[in-house]
Each structure stands twice: as C-alpha cells, then as structure tokens.
Amino acid sequence: MQAAVIGESCQSAEWCEKLHDSFGTCVDESIELAATFPHRGRVEMLENCIAVVVEDSRKPALFLELATILFHAGLNALTTKDFLLALQAFRDCYRPVQEIRRLTQETGDIYSEATVIEKDVAFHMATASAGQAIKAGEHVRKLYSVLTLDFISAFNLNQIFLVRIYM
C-alpha cells in the first residue's frame, strides 16, 4: 500500500482506491470495537492499533479517538475531584494531539477537532491544577491546626502567655 501511496505504479488506481477504502473501514471498525472495552482496554487497543498501522493517512482518526478517550477520563476524574488523575489524563492528551498536528499538516476536520480538544484540555488542566492546589492547601491547613493544638496542649497556657509578654 505504501508503494501505491507514494506514487509507484504497482497496481491499478482502482485497486489502490479499493484498498485504501477497505483500510479506512478497518480503522473505523477498530474504533467502534474499542468503544466496547473499558477505559484501560480502549487506550491499550488504540495504542496497539496505532503501533501496527503503517499508513499515516488513517492514523489521525485513531489519535483523535485516543485523545477523546483520555480527555473524557480526565473530565470524569475532575468531576470526582481526583485532581491528580485528571491532570495525568489531560497531560496524556497532548501526545495524540501533537501527532494529529504532525500527520494532518494542520489541515482538515480531524485537525480542527484536535485543536478544540487541545483548548479544552488546557482549560480543564488549569481547573484541575487549581483544584489540586486548593486540596493541598486545605490539607496543610488541617495539618497545621492539628500541630498547633498539639503544641498548645503540651504547654501550660500560662507559660505561653508569659513567653508572649517577654518577647
């Protein structure tokens, strides 16, 4: 198929077109089949499919599906307030988006969809980062208040008062 794509005449144009259409159908069916698996299985299946596909013209569709799956995993983690998992899923979205950019040469419908996902990922990643910072701040505040109470209970309150007067 690569010979047909790069212009060498090894088969008729009609044969090459049928082969290209058949390969497109195979990729579409792989994407549909991946939808029946749980999240981790979908990601693994699409990654394996991308690894064995040698025809670059169909890879953007696989990368778009992978980016969409990872983005939705990030959204699900964000709604359950698992900010670290959300951040990881959003970070994982960047590779498929960059591959789409490279393979489509920044043209076409798949590239347009990838740019929308990229912008959404940036927005939601900022939200997840802020949520994680708030969660970490609350944890530190709780830890500080527990330490402060332990420190105060260890001393007589009159001693703490005298220390403050002499300082």
Q: What is the pLDDT of residues 92-122, one digit of tens each?
A: 999 999 999 999 998 999 999 999 999 999 9
Q: How far, CA to CA in Å, does 63 sit from each of 8, 84, 93, 129? A: 28, 23, 9, 25
Q: Report the C-alpha gap between 67 and 92 in whole angstroms.
A: 8
Q: Can you say how many angstroms the Cα of residue 86 is from the centroid of all Cα atoms in its chain?
A: 8
Q: Report the C-alpha gap between 74 and 120 in whole angstroms.
A: 11
Can you list the positions of beta strands (E) in the chain?
none
Closest CA to 73 of 110, 25, 40, 117: 40
Q: Look at residue 11 in the predicted model and tell me its pLDDT.
A: 76
Q: Look at residue 65 in the predicted model and tell me its pLDDT.
A: 93
The answer on pLDDT for 162 being more than 60 is no
Q: Look at residue 40 in the predicted model and tell me its pLDDT.
A: 87
Condensed to tens digits (0 to 9), the pLDDT of residues 138-156 reads 888 887 776 665 555 555 5
Can you list the positions of beta strands (E) in 6-84?
none
Q: Look at residue 8 in the predicted model and tell me its pLDDT.
A: 61
Token readout for 156 is 């007589």
Q: Look at residue 156 in the predicted model and tell me its pLDDT.
A: 53
| 164 — pLDDT class (breaks 50, 70, 90) | very low
* Cβ 100 vs Cβ 64: under 8 Å: yes
Distant-in-sequence contacts of 109-115, Cβ < 8 A, 24+ apart: 110/60, 110/61, 110/64, 111/60, 113/64, 114/60, 114/63, 114/64, 114/67
